[in-house]
Amino acid sequence: MSPDFTPWLSTAGGALIGASASAMLLLEGRVAGISGIVGGLFTPKAGDIGWRLAFVAGLVLAGIGGMVLAPQSLAVEVHRAPWMLVVAGLLVGVGTRLGNGCTSGHGVCGLSRMSPRSLASVVTFMAVGAAVAVAVGQLTGGAS
């Protein structure tokens, strides 16, 4: 079995994400979709900035905490040219806008609310993501 296979840590992480998304929906009436939260910072409404900044700050601080406490858990080896990563990021951003949400909004929050739109979005982005990963791998000669 691969040393990268961590079912208990993955289950715990998933449970924390689910609990956080549920708490936000139950306590604040808001969906924990990252793209919508960040997007709201660029189109601010009165009284709507503080919680968004706190949410994004929590994401950043959790990442920094992870780097400090367990840097090996965040070690990633990237086998793509930097320009490919930039293009991929831009395409994800465009897809997020076209789909009216991201993986956290549709995949975590939307599916748990049995949203047909979220199901269609998740099926679409998973299928397109898999197809693009295979195509890029074939066109660039594998992982290197």
The pLDDT-based confidence of 142 (bands split at 50, 70, 90) is low
pLDDT of residue 15: 93
Torsion 13-132-130-78 (CA) sign: negative
Question: Which of these ranges, 22-26, 64-68, 75-79, has the smallest mean pLDDT?
Answer: 75-79
User: Rounded CA gap, 140 and 78, in Å?
Assistant: 14
Mean pLDDT within 48-65: 93
For residue 89, the enclosing domain spans 7-139
Mean pLDDT within 43-63: 92
Six-digit token string for 140: 């660039």
Q: Considering its fold, how many domains does the chain have in total?
A: 1
**Tens digit of each residue's pLDDT (9 = 90 or more) over 93-118:** 888 888 888 888 898 888 888 999 99
Position 2 in a domain: no
pLDDT of residue 1: 63
- Is the pLDDT higher at 98 or at 64? 64
pLDDT exceeds cutoff 70 at 2: no
Position 24 in a domain: yes
Position 36 in a domain: yes
pLDDT exceeds cutoff 90 at 47: no
Phi, psi of 68 (to 5 degrees): -75, -45
pLDDT exceeds cutoff 80 at 30: yes
User: Rounded CA gap, 112 and 5, in Å?
Assistant: 25
Mean pLDDT within 134-140: 86
Position 120 in a domain: yes
Position 1 in a domain: no
* Nearest Cα to Cα of residue 21 among 13, 12, 33, 8: 33
Position 44 in a domain: yes
List alpha helices for 1-144, DSSP H: 7-28, 34-42, 49-69, 82-98, 111-112, 116-139
Give Rg (Cα) of the chain. Answer: 17
Position 75 in a domain: yes
pLDDT of residue 69: 93
- Is the pLDDT higher at 1 or at 56? 56
Q: How many CA atoms lie within 13 A of 112 on its CB side?
A: 20
pLDDT of residue 133: 87
